[in-house]
Structures are given as C-alpha cells and as structure tokens.
Structure 1
Amino acid sequence: MGITYKDEQGIQGMRTAGRLAAEVLDHLTDHIKPGITTREIDRLAAEFMKKQGSISATLGYQPSGYPPYPASLCTSVNNVVCHGIPNDKPLKKGDIVNVDVTVIKDGWYGDTSRMFVIGDASIAAKRLVQITYDAMWHGISMVKPGIRLGDIGFAIQKFAEGNGFSVVREFCGHGIGRNFHEEPQVLHYGKPGTLEELKPGMTFTIEPMINAGRREVKEFGNDGWTIVTKDHSLSAQWEHTVLVTEDGYEVMTLSDGAPQPPDFVRK
C-alpha cells in the first residue's frame, strides 16, 4: 500500500480524531500522580473514550506475529521504551511514564502520546523528558512540501545526540489515516535529502523514542509487546500526528490541555 494523500474531507476527519485523542490525555492529566496504577489510567481512558463517542485503536489490535493488545492505551514507565501494557503496580514519586493514545472516530485514526513526570523526579529524568519533547518539535518544524523524510530524522538525531542522548532505531513514526499504520515509515534518524519527498495531504506521526543511555532495546518478559532499554537506562517519547499543508504543517493532535510548542517553534 502506497502513501495516501488526504482530501479536505479526510483532513477534517483526521482533525477530529486527533483532537479527541489529545483530549483523552487532557482528561487523564490530573489523575496521573503517585499511587495510581497504569491499569486505572487505562480504565479512566476507556470510560472517557466512551463518552466522546470514540473507540480505542489499540484494544485487541493484532499485527502479524503479535498477540492481541489487551488495553485501551500504552503506558511505558521509566526504562520501558514503548508498548508497555497497563498493570496493577502503583506509580511512585520520581517515575516517568509515557501514555500513548490512539482513537478511532468515524473511521479516522488519531494518535498522540505525552510524558508525565510523577511527583518530583531527578534532574536527569526531567532533562530527558524535555529534550525528547524538543527533539519531536525539531522534527515537526522541518515539515513542509519538498523536504524529505531523511531531513526530519536528521534534525531529531542531531539534536538528541548533541545533547548526549541516543535515538532508538527499531521503532518509528508512520503514516496514518483510515488505517492505524500506513506508509511512509518516519525514521527518527537519517541523512538529509534522503527517503520520500513530502507533499501536501500526507499525514503521519513523529514520535521519537530517546534513551538516556545506549540506543539498544530488547523485548521484556513474554507478553509479546513490552520493549525496554537493553542497559536499563530511562527512555522517553512524545508523539504528534502531523499534516503536510501547502506551505508547511499542521499538528492535528493539539488540544486546550496539550503542552505548548517550545519557544524556538513559536518564534
């Protein structure tokens, strides 16, 4: 399947799905504090999606070679890189957690994730979370017709590695629309001027996974999903869904409660 280019109707559908995904995270924000379990976060999200009239894209999701995913969102704590399954372990002060939400509304998918710092974390943990957020925006701010996906990956990699962190290679952003995962793959590392050229109507996620230590990852346990850092170092991730417009980009997963873009983007 090639890249799908969204028309005005498709763009409207994507805007709605993206906003609803972001509003799930807004709803969860006040609840995510020391003592809550990730399973309770998942329950609150499922309840809120029902009120919205959206449905979870992850619950029961089963790509080839994987077991069905058992929850309405992903919760990746500390050294979990991605695809963490909600469980009954309470979050404690100093933890960092990525909450990754994908909803479906009227056949369109909206995909976004945010990092949450539980209580007061270490300076190193907070710096990782902030640098990862800025790295995502360094990628987003590259987006416009005519540039190539390698330019986005290079911008993210240069910024993250320049700050002493490493970029996970095994997982990447992806096209999105009427399917959860479409073409193209959006790598968070790369060479300028390489890979697909961006054209108006493309929609894809930018979702860098940045490690405090080395970039290598491994599967954890036998649940078929959870990925952790090989060296047990902390990992962080942020994600937005982005539309390529005629002259730049539109972030489709913003909401009233979403963190503001960094100063270098607003300027």
Structure 2
Amino acid sequence: MIEMKTAANIAAMRESGRVVARALAAMRDAAAIGTTMIELDAVGAKVLADVGATSPFLNYHPDWARSPFPASICASVNDAVVHGIPTGIPLGDGDLVSIDFGAILNGWAGDAAISFIVGTARQEDLDLIETTERALAAGIAAARPGNRVGDIGHAIAQVARAKGYGLLADHGGHGIGRTMHEDPHIPNDARAGRGLKLRPGLVIAIEPMLHAGGSDGYINGADGWTLRTADGSRAAHVEHTVAITADGPVILTEL
C-alpha cells in the first residue's frame, strides 16, 4: 500500500532529512586515513542521540537476511556496493567509501547516501562518483507529477550507461515515510513511460549504485549483508529522499 503524504507530513520528513544530512556531513568530515567504519558509525549514532532520533538500520531484519543489521550505517568500501557492515579495519589512502544512513524523528524517516575518497583520489574514482551524482540528479529531475517511476529509472540508466558503468542488478530506490522501506520500488534502469504514475504527496528514496567495471552483477558477502561487484571493480552509491510536489521534486535530505 502506498501512503500519500500531506504537506505537514513532508515538513516533518524534512526535519528527519536534515538529521540525516548533518550526520553524513559529520561522518565525511571525520573520515581520514586510519579511521575505521566503526568509528564513523559512532559519529552517526551520536548525531541521532543528540536530537532524540533513532536508526532505522540498527537491528533491521528483513525476511531475506539471516541476522539483523548490527549498525547505524551501511559502510561500503571499494568493491562493496551497498549494505556493508562497519568493521574495525582502518581506511587506507585512496579508499572509495560509500555511507548509507537513515534517521527516524517524530515518527518519520529520512534516508540518504554519499560516496567519497579518503586521502589521495584516483581520477577514475572521482569520475565514477561524479557520474553517480549526475545519475541521481537526473533521476530527481524526472520525479515530477505526471511522469512514471520508469522515467526515473530511465534517466538514471541513461547517465550511467553512457559512461560504460554497470548498475547493481535488481536493486533501486523505494518509497519512504513512517518506515524506511515502503512501496513503490524505484528502479535504477527502466523503460520510460512505464510503471506507477507519480503524484504529489508521494515521497521516495532515489539511489543509483554504479559499478566501474560495467557489469551489473554482484556477489553476496560472507557476512550475509554486504553486496560486492562481481568483477571486483569499485562502486559508488548516492541517495536522497525526495518529495514529489505540484511544483516538482523537493529534496528532503540536504542541509
């Protein structure tokens, strides 16, 4: 069932979105060579605690997972695409880091992700991140009343495929509201003009996940959560929570 949000609901989600944006900025500032993802998880958890928010990730246990997710952030490094569990392994010079983070504040969820380089950046990694961000922007621009969810996926894929990048197979964005994951599914690769018609009041998370090697394939990590590129290439993941309004898309997870 898809719950359409009122203006007051969207305003409340904007507040949870601001918490997400502040936490991601704080974690990016704290990331350095030698920092661990467990330390960054603590940074994000503190931002939540300081405002009385909770994590929709911590102890999240979907049907397909053999155990609950044990952290407040999804921490994916280099060939890990999404759902990485934070570890005590120090980040190295040139690591490509993707952090996915959510917050629930006053009963409403926000969800966003960023990718960045720790230390010395390789140009090919910067290009991958920049293209992933452009794919997100294209998807957001397509999230307008009268368009369909397929238009979002088509816009994302056009940007990614033009650069020869792969997209994580069978994964995409989602509806969001009182819980982190709601209907509808938002594909990252789709035919334009297909799928659910977009209407004001729909709030969705749009999240392209690009593979540098060009393959869409992935493998499941031994921890039961982390998804890695099948070809071992690096990946980037960015995301925003977006409200569809009569005036167009409004990003809820930026400062």
TM-score range, shorter chain: over 0.9
Q: Distance in 2 between matches of 1:31 and 1:161?
A: 33
1:144-191 Cα deviation digits (max 9, x unpaired): 100011111011101110011111122110000001111100000010
Q: Distance in 2 between matches of 1:93 and 1:65?
A: 34
Aligned twin of 1:8 = 7
Q: Distance in 2 between matches of 1:156 and 1:90?
A: 33
Q: In the alignment, is residue 131 of structure 1 matched against residue 131 of structure 2?
A: yes
1:35-58 Cα deviation digits (max 9, x unpaired): 100011001111221112111111
Q: Is the 8 A contact 1:169 1:187 kept in 2?
A: no
Superposed counterparts of 1:98-247, under 5 Å: 98-213=98-213, 214-221=215-222, 223-247=223-247
Q: Secondary structure, in 3 states, of the residue corresponding to 2:210? A: strand
Q: Distance in 2 between matches of 1:183 and 1:135?
A: 22
Q: Distance in 1 between matches of 2:161 and 2:91?
A: 29
Give, in angstroms, the shift of residue 112 of structure 1. 0.5
Question: Identity of aligned pairs, percent?
Answer: 39
Q: Distance in 1 between matches of 2:152 and 2:29?
A: 33
1:88-129 Cα deviation digits (max 9, x unpaired): 100111111111111100110000011121111211111101
Gaps of 5+ in 2: none
Q: Is the 8 A contact 2:143 2:249 kept in 1?
A: yes
Q: Distance in 1 between matches of 2:43 and 2:241?
A: 23
Q: Look up the equivalent residue of 1:17 and give its one-letter code.
A: S
Report runs of 4+ in structure 1 exceeding 3 Å deviation. Answer: none
Q: Is the 8 A contact 1:61 1:69 kept in 2?
A: yes
Aligned twin of 1:263 = none
Give, in angstroms, the shift of residue 247 of structure 1. 2.4
User: What do you get for the CA RMSD once the two structures are aligned?
Assistant: 0.9
Q: Distance in 1 between matches of 2:159 and 2:64?
A: 34
Q: Distance in 1 between matches of 2:186 and 2:205?
A: 7
Aligned twin of 1:259 = none
Aligned twin of 1:17 = 16
Q: Distance in 1 between matches of 2:116 and 2:52?
A: 25
Q: Look up the equivalent residue of 1:60 and give its one-letter code.
A: N
Q: Look up the equivalent residue of 2:202 and give its one-letter code.
A: M
Q: Secondary structure, in 3 states, of the residue corresponding to 2:43? A: helix
Gaps of 5+ in 1: 256-267
Q: Secondary structure, in 3 states, of the residue corresponding to 1:30? A: helix
TM-score between the two structures when normalised by the length of structure 1:
0.93
TM-score between the two structures when normalised by the length of structure 2:
0.97
Q: Distance in 1 between matches of 2:220 and 2:32?
A: 27
Aligned twin of 1:265 = none
